[in-house]
Chains A and B, each alone.
Chain A
Amino acid sequence: MALLEVRDLSISFPGGSGRGSALSKAVDGVSFDVEAGQVAGLVGESGSGKSVTSLAVMGLLPHTARVSGSASFDGRDLLAVPERELEGVRGREVAMVFQDPMTSLNPVVTVGTQITEVLRRHTGASRRAARDEAGELLARVGIPAPVRRLREYPHQLSGGMRQRAMIAIALACSPKLLIADEPTTALDVTIQAQVLELMGDLVRERGTAMLLITHDLGVVAGLCDTVTVMYSGRVVERADRHELFARPRHRYTSGLLASVPRLDAPRGQRLQPIPGTPRDVIGWDAGCAFAPRCSAADDACRGTELPLVSDGARDRHLLRCAHPVPDQHDQHDQHDQHDQHDQQERSA
């Protein structure tokens, strides 16, 4: 059993301008697992529902949101437990890192106090012991001169340092699950590389499970074991890392890959953009939400609801598409080797 099992998660918000009781669906029947010691990636653009999903798991949605389904964490359904119990879970067993560390750190309290506060609340350590451990944590996340940094306020740290401090706070109680929502989007690439390296090390060394939410396929390719692609509130494709990038089957996934300029691609190759914008969608109950932007869309994509099913014999590759990208058989052997190699590496 996976550490976190999300099943049939649906989230709706009361409709925009408030007249009538129309609900707008942000997330619709999403299911995924996060295994201990692994990184699960949740990929999508704005409006895909990826961030709302993580907030729902943490019980951080506004009260107006209607949530259904289950999020079973270590045997408990986080969507069903009372708020008080959830507070015990948050920070102690599940921690979260957000995109903008400045908004999630308290600006008038020193970094040291913010870390020791968490440590003392969850472990009951003495002030001095918590202080020492806070210093060790900052050193662990690669903050130079950690003892000095403990006395500083968030605004005195740079963006990269703040994000590290956030990660240090998130790690203060050795959580079993770390949810990172666009953790490096606000950072420069060289700093992003440092932070990603740090997070990868933590998962490998501590066996923490991580749910990484991002729009950046490059980040996913480097860090995630499994990848779940969301579009307009639903999962459209899921596969293991190598499988997904080698054989993207959904037209949205392959379209995204073809539209992103790659550093290692030869120049002069024209990008293949996806037409339209993520706002051009039709409802999932009227077919595939991606159909208005899809080059392969026909009548089979509209009118009927499409299920998320295994892609042929590959039962770890799930797909919601009536006309998937043709499979390129000649590449199979090569990538199966990669899969094996990858699994060996992880189990080692």
Chain B
Amino acid sequence: MTAQTAGEPAAQDDVLLSARGVAVHYPGRGSVLRRPAPVRAVDGVDLDVRRGETYGLVGESGCGKSTLGRALLRLTEPTAGSIVLDGVDLRSLRPEPLRRARRQMQMVFQDPMASLDPRMDVEAAVAEPLRAHGLATGRGERGRRVRELLGLVGLPASAATRYPHEFSGGQRQRIGIARALAVEPSLVVADEPVSALDVSVQAQVLNLLEDLQTQLGLTYLLIAHDLAVVRHTSDRVGVMYLGGVVEEAASDDLYAQPLHPYTLSLMSAVPVPDPVVEDTRERILLTGDLPSPADPPSGCRFHTRCPFVQPTRCADERPVLRDLGMPGVGTPGRGPHRVACHWAEAVRDGQLRPNASAHDPAAAQPA
């Protein structure tokens, strides 16, 4: 989904959303004897989303991607960090200016049924943001705008007088998109926009999002667990694990050469609907489960499950994102290929091999 050519160097610096050190810590559950450890759902994330691009945030459940998405819009209050949208420091805004700022940033939710008020017909639902922001005042003008929005997402004008439960999942998601677009936002955060839909319907919604981006010059932050969806739709991709971004690169670069061991295993685990590919590819299987974000492992968060784990550094030194973009390898103009792994070069050059058996699975268990 490219509204404007990502190759233009000028576009690179045109950052719409910039986040630095964003953290969301929830108070955890303690016991009488122990002080509760905070749950570090998001733990220090830097993120830049450029105007007109689609930035894909991918990770498995519990990695904090949805919490991050909500924190960036201040729907969940971040506990630290700065968030700047189009020059406006969102974290410093008081409630009323923040409410007005929401016009610039909208959200599309995973479950379109749950995110629409069942008691409101489509017209009222789509008109609600218009009313809240004082747009398209007057009944006639508002009705006209609602029908225009419904047409934009491919729904008939007759849908306006019906209720959410009368629609199929894909149609409901279209209603959710129309509602988000009503206020002409510049940033749309789409949190798993297709994962609740039937397989044959997902492509309709993905194509619609793509068309709307071209048509309206939208910027997307797409949050998904499905790496194939993210690769298909996103210009740049950030991979999250346990509250932090472990790798970030242009979508093509990331797929051509994943550098972080977690990205490698994630990619090898995604099923491809082609038996020829499935029979020949090498799987890097992870052992154990995701550790608890209330008690994250020391050093590299991934070291308890990493198939490439090394005796030094991994367990005691937290790796930071560093640029490993190589001239000639990455797509020119697509920006850096950043990875948070001490051994990324060795993994890339094949000096390290995945070794599942060297790893005691019991050690990978959350306490």
- In the complex, is A directly touching B at CB under 8 Å? yes
B-contacting residues of A (Cβ < 8 Å)?
A: 45-46, 142, 144-145, 158, 160-161, 188-194, 196-197, 215-222, 241-242, 245-246, 255-257, 259-265, 267-275, 277-279, 293, 338, 342
B200 near A190: Cβ-Cβ < 8 Å: no
What's the Cα separation between A45 and B197 when bound, in Å?
A: 10
**CB of A82 to closest CB in B, whole Å:** 38
A190 near B255: Cβ-Cβ < 8 Å: no
**CB of B247 to closest CB in A, whole Å:** 15
Residues on the B chain within 8 Å of A278, using CB: 198, 200-201
- Knowing A218-B272, A260-B199, A261-B206, say if A277 contacts B171 (CB, 8 Å): yes
B283 near A197: Cβ-Cβ < 8 Å: yes
Residues on the B chain within 8 Å of A194, using CB: 285-286
Residues on the A chain within 8 Å of B285, using CB: 190, 193-194, 197
B228 near A271: Cβ-Cβ < 8 Å: no
A259 near B200: Cβ-Cβ < 8 Å: yes
Task: Identify which of B61, B168, B200 contacts A255 (C-beta below 8 A).
Answer: B200
Residues on the A chain within 8 Å of B198, using CB: 45-46, 215, 277-278
A273 near B207: Cβ-Cβ < 8 Å: yes
B245-295 interface with A by 8 A CB criterion: 251-252, 255, 265-279, 283, 285-290
A-B contact pairs, 23 of them (CB 8 A): A145-B362, A188-B290, A189-B227, A191-B289, A193-B285, A193-B286, A215-B198, A215-B199, A218-B270, A221-B274, A222-B272, A245-B274, A246-B276, A256-B200, A259-B203, A261-B203, A262-B273, A263-B227, A264-B277, A270-B210, A273-B203, A338-B276, A342-B275
Residues on the B chain within 8 Å of A192, using CB: 269, 271
- Knowing A193-B283, A259-B202, say if A271 contacts B169 (CB, 8 Å): no
A222 near B207: Cβ-Cβ < 8 Å: no
| B225 beta carbon closer than 8 Å to chain A | yes
Question: What are the interface flags for B159-198 relative to A under an 8 Å C-beta threshold, 1 for contact and 0 otherwise?
Answer: 0000000001111000000000000000000000000001
Task: Identify which of A142, A255, A263 contacts B270 (C-beta below 8 A).
Answer: A263
- Knowing A193-B269, A338-B275, say if A260 contacts B202 (CB, 8 Å): yes
**CB of A276 to closest CB in B, whole Å:** 8
A188 near B203: Cβ-Cβ < 8 Å: no
Task: Identify which of A158, A188, A221 contacts B271 (C-beta below 8 A).
Answer: A221
Residues on the B chain within 8 Å of A46, using CB: 198
Known contacts A190-B285, A261-B226, A271-B232, then 7 further A-B pairs from the complex at CB < 8 Å, ordered by chain A residue = A145-B365, A189-B266, A242-B275, A259-B203, A262-B228, A263-B231, A267-B231
| B204 beta carbon closer than 8 Å to chain A | yes
B229 near A218: Cβ-Cβ < 8 Å: no
A144 near B364: Cβ-Cβ < 8 Å: yes
The 9 closest A-B pairs by CB, nearest first: A218-B271, A273-B203, A261-B232, A193-B269, A259-B203, A217-B273, A188-B60, A271-B203, A144-B361
Residues on the A chain within 8 Å of B252, using CB: 267
**CB of B346 to closest CB in A, whole Å:** 22
Residues on the A chain within 8 Å of B202, using CB: 259-260, 273
Residues on the A chain within 8 Å of B2, using CB: 268
Residues on the B chain within 8 Å of A221, using CB: 271-275, 277-278
B228 near A260: Cβ-Cβ < 8 Å: yes
- Knowing A144-B365, A189-B266, say if A264 contacts B275 (CB, 8 Å): no
- Knowing A160-B289, A189-B269, A261-B228, say if A242 contacts B276 (CB, 8 Å): yes
Residues on the B chain within 8 Å of A273, using CB: 200-204, 207
Residues on the A chain within 8 Å of B272, using CB: 218, 221-222, 262-264
Residues on the A chain within 8 Å of B279, using CB: 342
**CB of B266 to closest CB in A, whole Å:** 6
**CB of A235 to closest CB in B, whole Å:** 17
Residues on the A chain within 8 Å of B266, using CB: 189-190
Question: What are the interface flags for B8-20 relative to A under an 8 Å C-beta threshold, 1 for contact and 0 otherwise?
Answer: 0000000000000
User: What residue of chain B has the Cβ atom nearest to residue A216's Cβ?
Assistant: B271
A-contacting residues of B (Cβ < 8 Å)?
A: 2, 60-61, 168-171, 198-204, 206-207, 210, 225-229, 231-233, 251-252, 255, 265-279, 283, 285-290, 360-362, 364-366
Residues on the A chain within 8 Å of B283, using CB: 193, 197
User: What residue of chain B has the Cβ atom nearest to residue A345's Cβ?
Assistant: B279
What's the Cα separation between A328 and B233 when bound, in Å?
A: 29
What's the Cα separation between A192 and B269 when bound, in Å?
A: 8
What's the Cα separation between A188 and B58 when bound, in Å?
A: 12
Task: Identify which of B169, B210, B290 contacts A277 (C-beta below 8 A).
Answer: B169
**CB of B146 to closest CB in A, whole Å:** 23
Residues on the B chain within 8 Å of A241, using CB: 275
B203 near A220: Cβ-Cβ < 8 Å: no
What's the Cα separation between A262 and B228 when bound, in Å?
A: 5
What's the Cα separation between A135 and B271 when bound, in Å?
A: 31
What's the Cα separation between A257 and B277 when bound, in Å?
A: 14
A265 near B168: Cβ-Cβ < 8 Å: no
**CB of A62 to closest CB in B, whole Å:** 24
**CB of B89 to closest CB in A, whole Å:** 34
A245 near B169: Cβ-Cβ < 8 Å: no
**CB of A56 to closest CB in B, whole Å:** 23
User: What residue of chain A has the Cβ atom nearest to residue B265's Cβ?
Assistant: A190
Residues on the B chain within 8 Å of A145, using CB: 362, 365
**CB of A295 to closest CB in B, whole Å:** 13
Residues on the B chain within 8 Å of A342, using CB: 275, 279
User: What residue of chain A has the Cβ atom nearest to residue B201's Cβ?
Assistant: A277
**CB of A215 to closest CB in B, whole Å:** 6
What's the Cα separation between A256 and B171 when bound, in Å?
A: 19
Residues on the A chain within 8 Å of B274, using CB: 221, 245, 262, 264
**CB of B230 to closest CB in A, whole Å:** 9
A158 near B290: Cβ-Cβ < 8 Å: yes
Residues on the B chain within 8 Å of A216, using CB: 199, 271
**CB of B228 to closest CB in A, whole Å:** 4
**CB of A179 to closest CB in B, whole Å:** 20
What's the Cα separation between A221 and B251 when bound, in Å?
A: 25
Residues on the A chain within 8 Å of B277, using CB: 221, 264
**CB of B140 to closest CB in A, whole Å:** 32
A263 near B267: Cβ-Cβ < 8 Å: yes
